[in-house]
Structure 1
Amino acid sequence: MAQVKGNTPPQSTSQQPSVFKVVLLGSSSVGKSSLAFRFIKNDFKEILPTLGCAFFTQMMEIDGCVLKLEIWDTAGQEKYHSVCHIYFRGANAALLVYDIANKDSFHRAQKWWKELENEFQPEEIVVILVGNKTDLEDSREVTLEEGKAFAESNKLLFMETSAKLNYQVSEAFTAVAHELLRREQNGGQAQRKNPAVDLKEKARAGKSRCCLD
């Protein structure tokens, strides 16, 4: 499993970070890995499809609070579907990503939401619906209004992004971080450090790796 470390918080702080597990879910080629890479490295690469899962970490400081996001980038191919279920267990937040130029990917994101509903109670997980690839506006198949309507009807956060153009990528992750902090401070969501993965179950599902070249 590939691991990419993000930025570290300011050296002056000695505060222990709040650790949150964040999963990226969606169809293959919607840009999940590119969103993570843009957020972590502020760079864009045409990345090969993720196999199994890739793991990233990113430190953030918001309103004087230090957060560590453990970002799990799951594979979008159908054959890895069961593996993805292993990785989103114990998640604090999820980004449901679709390609605005691919209507099928929007429907797939909606199916992922139904699966999250079956796995989590409403206050257990922060979910943001992300319409990626706004750079493909001329080929758009999912309108802004469609994405916003589905998010509002299910009480999800919503944002359109472009990993390629660096449009609203950090804003999407920051919106999730703000909501995680709000819920933690209100006692609505317990902090989970070092989210566990059943390694035996993972092994039965098959080895995973990620290409980040």
Structure 2
Amino acid sequence: MSWRNSSLTDVDHYLYQFRLIIIGESTVGKSCLLRRFTQGRWIEHNDPTVGVDFHTKMVQVDGHNLKLQLWDTAGQERFRAITRSYFRNAVGALLVFDISDQNSFAKVSGWMEDVRQSSKPHEPVFLLVGNKADLDRQRQVLRVDAERLANSFKIDYIETSSRTGQNVEEIFNVLARRIFEAIQDGTVVVGNGWDGVKKGDEIPKELSSRVNLQQKKISDTKDNGGGCCK
């Protein structure tokens, strides 16, 4: 297992932390999507993930900072026992397949069911991702078929390319928004010893505004020669 911390510092404040997993068959490009999102780069040749790989990144939804814990899981069957242990505390999952590989698409339903069974009693928020959109000429999975499957699951479907960066930011932002909305409407419950969602230390907007106003008044007083030490 490897650990990477991307674009976060100890002084960052956030409203919630979401634990997300990226799942799908080996070679569909999960690690490349994650690297493009967290590091802004793409590598032609990438070694398969062994077990799990970990990244973090901050996104914003409705003006709130949300910290994403991103767990890249290995697609090979021999690592399944390891990766299942990370499914339980996931509040969200990107279901990734390769649009140029029909077999990877055929396995999507199995991956989804595996996560659902392993994460009980919690139900993660899913998003279906058709990766390698830059290989459209070699496409084996029609968009209409992928959209039909996503509709049957009642989830979003987005096509991406880690090579070009197409929609890579969008899939993480959309998933974060869906989870945030699920918290707002009570579908996802925060707490109870579950690590899928954790409360952060973000200062509420109304309190932050009052603090900034007080700081401005203090600053103005000092600039005008006021203060007890004059």
Q: TM-score, normalised by structure 1?
A: 0.84
Query: Structure 1 16/169 Cα, relative in aligned 2: closer, same or farther at 3 Å?
Result: closer
CA distance in 1, matches of 2:190, 2:55: 18
Match of 1:202 in 2: none
Pairing of 1:30-179 with structure 2 (within 5 A): 30-45=28-43, 46-120=45-119, 124-179=123-178
CA distance in 1, matches of 2:122, 2:90: 12
Note the C-alpha offset of 1:103.
0.5
SS of equivalent residue, structure 1 residue 49: coil
Note the C-alpha offset of 1:123.
7.2
Match of 1:189 in 2: 188
SS of equivalent residue, structure 2 residue 4: strand
Query: Structure 1 121/156 Cα, relative in aligned 2: closer, same or farther at 3 Å?
Result: farther
**Larger Rg computed on CA atoms:** 2
CA distance in 2, matches of 1:146, 1:184: 30
CA contact (8 A) 2:21 2:73 kept: yes
CA distance in 1, matches of 2:7, 2:13: 16
CA contact (8 A) 2:14 2:67 kept: no
Deviation sequence 1:25-62 (CA, Å, 0-9, x none) = 10110000000000101111132100000011111122
Query: Structure 1 27/159 Cα, relative in aligned 2: closer, same or farther at 3 Å?
Result: same
CA contact (8 A) 2:94 2:127 kept: yes
Amino acid of the structure 1 residue aligned with 2:48: P
Unaligned runs of 5+ residues in structure 2 are: 197-230
SS of equivalent residue, structure 2 residue 163: coil
Match of 2:212 in 1: none
CA contact (8 A) 2:100 2:132 kept: yes
Query: Structure 1 130/165 Cα, relative in aligned 2: closer, same or farther at 3 Å?
Result: same
CA distance in 1, matches of 2:121, 2:150: 14
Match of 1:7 in 2: 7
SS of equivalent residue, structure 2 residue 140: coil
CA contact (8 A) 1:34 1:44 kept: yes
RMSD: 2.2
Higher mean C-alpha deviation, range 67-76 or range 183-192: 183-192
CA distance in 2, matches of 1:21, 1:111: 21
Deviation sequence 1:7-33 (CA, Å, 0-9, x none) = 249x8xx74430111001101100000
CA distance in 2, matches of 1:33, 1:117: 22
Unaligned runs of 5+ residues in structure 1 are: 197-213
SS of equivalent residue, structure 2 residue 174: helix
> Quick one: higher RCO (CA 8 Å, sep 6+), 1 or 2?
1
CA contact (8 A) 1:8 1:60 kept: no
CA contact (8 A) 2:19 2:91 kept: yes
SS of equivalent residue, structure 1 residue 124: coil
Tell me the number of residue pairs that the alignment of Structure 1 and Structure 2 aligns: 193
Q: Percent identity between the aligned chains?
A: 34
Deviation sequence 1:71-128 (CA, Å, 0-9, x none) = 0000011111121111111100000100000011011122111223334569731100
Amino acid of the structure 1 residue aligned with 2:128: L
Query: Structure 1 122/194 Cα, relative in aligned 2: closer, same or farther at 3 Å?
Result: closer
Query: Structure 1 133/158 Cα, relative in aligned 2: closer, same or farther at 3 Å?
Result: same
